[in-house]
A and B are shown apart, each in its own frame.
Chain A
């Protein structure tokens, strides 16, 4: 809109005077070109994103069958029951391990972390989010799969995912806790509450919506993760049998990666069905989390 009126204005000026207009109209034209380039830049990412969503939704839905949820994978066909339950298992395991640590660390950073140690942890949390997940996966492979002898297993994979979500949990928790007004703490301390009572009875209830949101975001991260799991969870055609170690686990993202390279239509169908499940989870969680955060 602004570009149009600007162009019109420059044409008008060009018609009226002669002293400045040439350079002004040139500048206005250049500005319009600049805005056009900005819009093109936006389209350059909006179009691929739309294409990704359309591709996954269309091909994924056409591959949807009831047996997807009732059957296990047989070779490159069958269902995804093993992968769906495996992804749930690994993600929930990651949350069980990662959330208490992340929330606890975040509370420390928000309430007591103004010193040098706090800023070091904050900085290293940022750095840890930047460490490639494959490196963390290799670390788990070396320590748990090989040294501890767990082999490809649910526990090794869940701990790896927990490490990946840990810095996000800590940072988001800190953010939420710091938004709570200081007078609430002062009021609680004035009533004689101890530190633990202030945090557990006063601050955590207030922070609960924000913390739930960050748990959901962490869930989205672990559902979409692939590379470190290949090094820690392996792959299994069977539904998890209840063993935490010495038993590989299947998961959805493996199906996407591995089956799209198979030359069979049934494999491609499974890959797109798995991609749809993963994308739905991730997008719904992220859009929902945004809505919650904006309301807060």
Chain B
């Protein structure tokens, strides 16, 4: 597909070892390498393009909504049958108001509860995989966790609708209300099971493999000497794991949790299918219906397209920008932490 660089022969060109990757330094990079560089550059370009084009597209909505976008509860398309009127320099339907507070709250709450469930479970599983099972059984157990990571989001949603939501409505919700009912947020029971709790449980299930695999990887890289030193002090195996190994991999654990957070914040299908879809309504209990930013973007496209001024679709794009910025930041921090955590031990 790409020809040999013309005019370049091997004679006379210094080739100081492949490890340095500066094989043709005297000649400058040839067309082959430039072509590969162009392909590699597409990844950064995509990220820049996503942000840039979404910003350009959403600009009228950003002007119209202002900073209040993040703190307004109401999402109202306004009167779609009357002519749009200018407001803040943008043509908008009369009475239109776009606020993302409900979706930001739904996203943060569901992801937060999901992490509260997922983190201890993931730590337990990674300890179990790294030290609890013999080397012979480690692979099949690890496969279970990894399969959890590859189940498509929409299949989680399908399972959520058919199994988890009825379970939440008939078992979990009454149980939680009975045990923790004195705490306001946990008091409500009833409802169809669609809502914050179901969404958080599905999210937890989807986040657990991410955290588990990362922490497990870090645990297996703890040097043998550290474990032996702990044993020499007379610890039991579990004390060795929990007092010696876990503190050693703390950066990786933090990174893994943030990585899981990034996944939970952007999860769409499964959450959409079990969350109940709240509009203009802040969750007041663990059984409340919610909308997350991602699920709202997906579910509202049809109705937003009815808006002749286009402002509703552009406001959806503004939600997408907020989501993009949050997840990019979260993932960048997580990757740096995971990387520095693993570098620390070589």
Contacts and interface: CB of A to CB of B under 8 A. Distances in A.
A pairs with B: yes
Nearest to A199: B32
Interface stretch (B76-84, B121-129, B180-188): B121-129
Nearest to B301: A231
Interface stretch (B89-97, B257-265, B279-287): B257-265
B331 A224 contact: no
A15 interface: no
A278 B4 contact: no
Interface string A123-139: 11111111111111011
Contacts of A55: 158-159, 162-163
Q: Which of A49, A55, A132, A257 has the most chain B CB atoms closer than 10 A to its own CB? A: A132
Interface in B1-52: 2-5, 8-11, 15, 17-19, 21, 23-24, 29-30, 32-33, 35-37, 39-44, 46-47, 49-50
Contacts of A6: 236-237
Contacts of B205: 45, 48
Interface string B297-324: 1100100000000000000110010011
B155 A279 contact: yes
B315 to A, nearest CB: 12
B268 A131 contact: no
Given A138-B54, A271-B158, A104 B40 contact: yes
B158 A49 contact: no
Interface stretch (A67-75, A105-113, A237-245): A105-113
Interface stretch (A31-39, A76-84, A88-96, A206-214): A31-39
Interface string B141-182: 101111110111111111101110000000000000000000
A134 B156 contact: no
B327 interface: yes
Interface residues of A, number: 99
Contacts of A139: 49-50, 53-54, 320
Contact of B154 (A182, A220, A226): A226
A104 B35 contact: yes
Nearest to B143: A290
B153 A226 contact: yes
A193 B32 CA distance: 13
**Chain B, interface size: which category?**
35 or more
B50 A38 contact: no
A138 B242 contact: no
Interface string A206-235: 000000000000001001111100110000
Interface string B231-252: 0000011110010000000000
A87 to B, nearest CB: 12
A136 B323 CA distance: 11
Contacts of A223: 152
A51 B163 contact: yes
A138 B10 contact: no
Contacts of B158: 55-56, 256, 260, 271-272, 275
Most buried by B among A112, A130, A192: A130
Contacts of A111: 21, 36
A112 B153 contact: no
A37 B128 CA distance: 9
Given A120-B44, A124-B43, A282-B151, A138 B23 contact: no
Given A49-B144, A109-B40, A115-B21, 18 more contacts: A28-B236, A38-B127, A41-B128, A101-B42, A121-B41, A126-B335, A127-B332, A132-B265, A134-B323, A185-B18, A195-B23, A196-B3, A196-B5, A200-B2, A256-B155, A272-B158, A275-B154, A282-B150
